[in-house]
Amino acid sequence: MSRLVFTLIVLVFILLDASSQPQSGENKLIQQDHLIESKDLIGKWRSLQNPGINIEFVDSAYQLVLISSGSNPFYFQKDSLGNVSSNGWYPQWPPPSCDLFFNSKDTLRIVYSLVGDTLESAYFLKIY
């Protein structure tokens, strides 16, 4: 009898653990980066929330550098084909990150975060 009860308890815990896992197969804590063609980023961008704020992506041989006034530069690694990782970084501890998402061909969403916490989300329109 006690063996049956033990088996039922173990079965319940296994079922509870399986149902608590993400159903989509994705870990929501880890953002997956994707590749962006560097030519789509290089140039100046104007903030949609605050038109006085401009940023610029500059090609620096093996990486793109996001330059923004009043902020540290963020670095985006390029692969051998010139594609850029959508996840940028700045050398500091803990490391802040900068994630890029295109809403359209000329509208870019930038999410600044620190250790998984979003600090700011901003939208930019490509100037040239």
Q: Which pLDDT tens digit goes with each residue over 75-122?
A: 999 999 989 999 999 888 888 889 999 999 999 999 999 887 888 899
Exposure string of 72-109, with b = 16+ CB inside 10 Å and e = fewer, is eebbbebeeeebbbbbbeeeeeeebbbbbeeeeeeebe
pLDDT band at 27 (very low <50, low <70, confident <90, very high): very low
The CATH architecture that domain 35-126 belongs to is Beta Barrel (2.40)
pTM above 0.95, yes or no: no
Whether the per-residue pLDDT at 11 is higher than 60: the answer is no
pLDDT of residue 72: 86
At 88, phi and psi to the nearest 5?
-100, 165
Residue 65 CA to residue 76 CA, distance in Å, equals 6
Give the position of tokens 């896992």: 21
Its sign, for the CA torsion 112, 21, 19, 25, is: positive
Whether the per-residue pLDDT at 19 is higher than 70: the answer is no
**In the structure encoding, which two tokens stand for residue 95, read together?**
């490391």
Q: Which pLDDT tens digit goes with each residue over 45-83?
A: 999 999 889 999 999 988 999 998 878 899 999 999 989
